[in-house]
Amino acid sequence: MHKNYKKIVAGLMTAVMIVSTAVSISEPKEVFAYELLGETSFSHKMLPWYTVENSPARQDFELSDGTVHIKILLPEGAEKERWDLQFRHMNLDFKKGHEYKVSFKVKARRNGMELYSFIGNLSGSEEYFVLDGSTNDMHMGPDMDGNWPQSAVKLTTEWQTYEGIFKPANDIEAAQWTFQYARGTKYSGNAHEGDELWFDDMSIEDLTDDITCPPVFNYGYTARGFSGLENNFISVNQLGYYKGLEKTATLGNNKGDFTYGAKYFELDDIYDYEIVRVSDDEVVYTSKTGTPKKDADSGDTVSIIDFSEFNELGEYYIRIKDKEWRSFPFKIGTDIYSDSEHNMLTNVLNYFYQNRSGEDIKSDYITSGEKDKLAHAGVHKTDMGYVQTKWIGEYLSDDEATKYYASSKLDASGGWYKADDHSKNLTDGGIPLWTLQNMYERATCSQDGIRKFADGSGIVVVPETGN
């Protein structure tokens, strides 16, 4: 399925009345089905689908002949359950009263490889729509007035299609569709090292016929349609360009964007372009775009816009002469990465402040974005880690982990959250700690670095001072 939107005609003969003189056939009823997924066919890209690994479990993937091809490198993860290896699509919203047709195709290298799948909440604690190996279809799950699946499905080396109709009993926001297939101990999963999976034709179609216009989905990946700039076909470095150095932009026809309603054009010519000063809309430089070339990675046809010889300091945008195509504004300067409006070091360091665990994040110390919306009360203000006397894959209760098998405990408060699931662990806590300390040590070898990290410099914006 290569479109994110399609029209299906239903009820071609919703009523036929035979009388003595004529046959009457009603007008066909048009029903619109809207695709929720950000990618269905994998002909050009995989996002927003992605893979998940719980170390030491490992997998590799590639796009192969319009499919996602996954290879199992290490089948068993830390929890020794099927969810240690996953394939996911997040940010899915469902409406009460709507009907959704859910379907996908899958095959494996080995007959009998087990696959578990469900649509549920982000933590995985609720399952609304599940794949059932006992019936070889998908049905309502335990958290949507349905049943647990009796077993995982057993795959074959031939393509199999699984589908079902999902009828949510309430509105659902930010759900995920996940596939799980690592080697498990209690909850299915029999993966072997070297096992392979292929996925294709993934689809969640809203079949409800009272939708007057298709919804617009933003799955978090960058696309021109979500930029907020009309006729945005020219990509520039929005941070800016250094005077005296290379300066290039790209004119792209957007042919590779498969989001619904994406705008594109046929790029088969060389165009005159203009550099326009933002302050007074004065044209200050003109030249021609490069020869159009097909970019295999993006699916676009692109032309390079090289304006390296233009070095006048200021703020500008690029437009194609006699067209409505234009770029976002950009600057030409000598302090592109360190000017007062978007100091890159300040904002990079502030990322770590905003991801602190156990601390209230205050707008006074947020250096970019919508400060009031980004500010929030801290959670997990006290985190205790318990040192265990023996390794057990899963404890029966909190008391078993914190009392019976615990030899000592450590205060694990603070630190940073992981970006993917907002959890904390030693590896992902140690890496930023080392990165920040190493950066500080290297930076303060010079007087300029000492100045940047000094109290009151305005570059490191955190609550702590005097240290």
- CB-neighbour burial class of residue 128 (10 A; exposed 0-12, middle 13-18, buried 19+): buried
Q: Which residue has the higher pLDDT, 424 or 16?
A: 424
Handedness of CA 218, 220, 224, 226 (dihedral sign): positive
> Which residue type is seen at 208?
T
Residue 9: is its pLDDT beyond 60? Answer: no
pLDDT at position 271: 97
Length of the chain: 467
Question: Residue 175 — very low, low, confident or very high, per pLDDT cuts 50/70/90?
Answer: very high
Q: For 69-121, give the DSSP string.
A: EEEEEE---TT-SGGGEEEEEEEEEE-TT--EEEEEEEEESSTT-EEEEEEE-
**Per-residue pLDDT tens over the stretch 186-225:** 999 999 999 999 999 999 999 987 666 666 666 555 677 7
**Per-residue pLDDT tens over the stretch 243-290:** 999 999 999 999 877 665 678 899 999 999 999 999 999 999 999 999
Q: Where are the domains of the chain?
A: 50-206, 224-333, 344-452
Residue 16: is its pLDDT beyond 70? Answer: no
**Per-residue pLDDT tens over the stretch 307-355:** 999 999 999 999 999 999 999 999 999 998 888 777 888 999 999 999 8
Q: Which residue has the higher pLDDT, 400 or 58?
A: 58
- pTM, entire model: 0.60
HSE-CB at 404 with a 13 A cutoff on CA atoms is 9
Cβ–Cβ under 8 Å, residues 244 and 260: no
**Per-residue pLDDT tens over the stretch 102-140:** 999 999 999 999 999 999 998 888 999 999 999 999 999
**Per-residue pLDDT tens over the stretch 136-162:** 999 999 999 999 999 999 999 999 999
pLDDT at position 216: 61
Residue 5: is its pLDDT beyond 60? Answer: no
| pLDDT averaged over every residue in the chain | 86
pLDDT at position 77: 94
**CATH architecture, domain defined by 50-206:** Sandwich (2.60)
Residue 57: is its pLDDT beyond 50? Answer: yes
**Per-residue pLDDT tens over the stretch 375-393:** 999 888 888 888 888 877 6
Question: How many beta carbons lie within 10 A of that of residue 237, not counting itself?
Answer: 15
Residue 76: is its pLDDT beyond 90? Answer: yes
Cβ–Cβ under 8 Å, residues 123 and 52: no
> Do the first three CATH levels of 50-206 and 224-333 match, i.e. the same topology?
no
pLDDT at position 213: 64
Q: What angle do CA 445, 447, 451 make, to 5 degrees?
A: 110
**CATH architecture, domain defined by 224-333:** Sandwich (2.60)
Helix or strand holding residue 371 (H, E): helix 371-374
Please list, in sequence order, all residues whose beta carbon lies within 8 angstroms of the beta carbon of residue 103, skipping any fewer than 6 positions away.
161, 162, 163, 164, 201, 202, 203
pLDDT at position 32: 56
